[in-house]
């Protein structure tokens, strides 16, 4: 079990790094192309791993085709289009705090779907976490945010949260029947195909030669560590300790993203960002602490 925890911690550090890579790509690589290249890379790596392990491509039961399509639409297509679009205008650290609400919403929807009662204390974690995200988004000016509304980029990053909730809960049903590596390979491959058309419309083949070495390095990091390794290890965590407890490790993502954004991007660590992060993590802890495993 220790090995699973280590994999989950490393996954969350990788995912913290995806905000940095995504922010670095903003303005250089169109969102649809960045998303397509990320998952084309991931699918290629996973294909090689599958062939080395099994000597063949594993088959998928027909009844799982629809769930895998849903995984591709939520965790790959919609999440990544929203992710790269959002990072065009949202700082990496702030975006990571918004997405840190993932475990709260996973717990809420898992409670509704699997009929696990949250109770009063755990239910308090939901508004606490949301308030923390609002403080981080508004830079402490909550009144100004409420009067002016969320920015377009912030709304897109919040859309990532909803996409990830669906991805996590649908994925739990899928990996009850096939190994995580197989599930992620087919999800990444189908997701890359779904992203190919908008990438072509945005000039995929005419722009590949214009990207810098740093751009390709960020794409490789997103595809190999942020996706191929990260997704498989995350699903292994769900398989062993349940969706809610695996989701709890997402606490690490905003912390690693904020630290890396400070050193690599020069993003300031403001007091409101720290307060928001603490409230989000407190809310996540209250909502998830002590919940039963989702098996």
- Mean pLDDT for 217-231 is 94
Residue 122 lies in a domain: yes
Range of the domain at 142: 2-288
Question: Which of 247, 188, 150 shows the shortest CA–CA distance to 46?
Answer: 188
Q: What is the pLDDT of residue 289?
A: 64
SS3 percent helix, strand, coil of the chain, rounded to 5, is 80, 0, 20
pLDDT at 146 over 60: no
Model's pTM, two decimal places? 0.86
Residue 245 lies in a domain: yes
Instruction: Indicate the SS3 state at residue 294.
Output: coil
Residue 294 lies in a domain: no
Yes or no: say if 35 and 80 are a contact pair by the CB < 8 Å rule. Answer: yes
Residue 54 to residue 49: CA distance in whole angstroms: 9
Residue 173 to residue 238: CA distance in whole angstroms: 10
Question: Which of 29, 44, 15, 80 shows the shortest CA–CA distance to 184?
Answer: 44
Number of domains the chain contains: 1
Alpha-helix runs per DSSP H in 175-268: 180-201, 204-207, 213-223, 230-241, 243-248, 252-260
Between CA 246 and CA 77, with CA 70 as vertex, the angle to 5 degrees is 85
pLDDT at 224 over 80: yes
- Mean pLDDT for 23-34 is 94
Between CA 4 and CA 11, with CA 5 as vertex, the angle to 5 degrees is 90
The C-alpha R_g of the chain, in whole angstroms, comes to 18
Residue 15 lies in a domain: yes
Residue 31 lies in a domain: yes
Question: Which of 211, 146, 181, 170 shows the shortest CA–CA distance to 75?
Answer: 170
Which of these ranges, 21-25, 110-114, 125-129, 191-195, has the smallest mean pLDDT? Answer: 110-114
pLDDT at 173 over 90: no
Q: What is the pLDDT of residue 116?
A: 63
Q: What is the mean pLDDT of the chain?
A: 87
Residue 19 lies in a domain: yes
Residue 194 to residue 206: CA distance in whole angstroms: 19
pLDDT tens, position by position, 102-136: 878 888 887 888 776 667 777 888 888 888 888 88
């Amino acid at each position: 079990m220790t090995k699973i925890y280590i994999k989950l911690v490393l996954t969350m550090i990788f995912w913290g790094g995806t905000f940095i890579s995504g922010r670095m790509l903003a303005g250089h690589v169109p969102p649809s192309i960045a998303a397509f290249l990320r998952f084309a890379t991931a699918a290629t790596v996973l294909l090689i791993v599958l062939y080395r392990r099994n000597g063949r491509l594993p088959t998928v039961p027909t009844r799982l085709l629809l769930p895998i399509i849903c995984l591709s639409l939520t965790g790959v297509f919609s999440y990544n289009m929203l992710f790269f679009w959002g990072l065009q205008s949202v700082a990496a650290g702030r975006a990571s705090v918004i997405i840190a609400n993932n475990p709260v919403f996973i717990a809420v929807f898992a409670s509704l779907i699997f009929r696990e009662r949250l109770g009063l204390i755990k239910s308090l974690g939901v508004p606490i976490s949301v308030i923390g995200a609002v403080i981080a988004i508004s830079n402490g000016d909550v009144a100004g945010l409420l009067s002016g509304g969320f920015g377009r980029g912030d709304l897109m990053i919040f859309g990532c949260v909803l996409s990830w909730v669906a991805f996590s809960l649908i994925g739990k049903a899928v990996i009850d029947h096939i190994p995580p590596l197989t599930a992620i390979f087919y999800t990444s491959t189908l997701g890359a195909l779904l992203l190919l058309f908008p990438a072509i419309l945005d000039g995929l083949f005419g722009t590949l030669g214009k990207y810098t070495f740093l751009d390709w390095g960020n794409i490789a990091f997103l595809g190999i560590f942020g996706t191929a390794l990260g997704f498989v290890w995350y699903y292994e965590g769900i398989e062993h300790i349940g969706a809610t407890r695996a989701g709890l490790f997402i606490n690490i993502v905003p912390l690693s993203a904020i630290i890396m954004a400070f050193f690599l991007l020069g993003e300031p660590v403001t007091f409101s960002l720290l307060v928001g992060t603490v409230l989000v993590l407190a809310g996540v802890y209250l909502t998830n602490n002590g919940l039963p495993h989702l098996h």
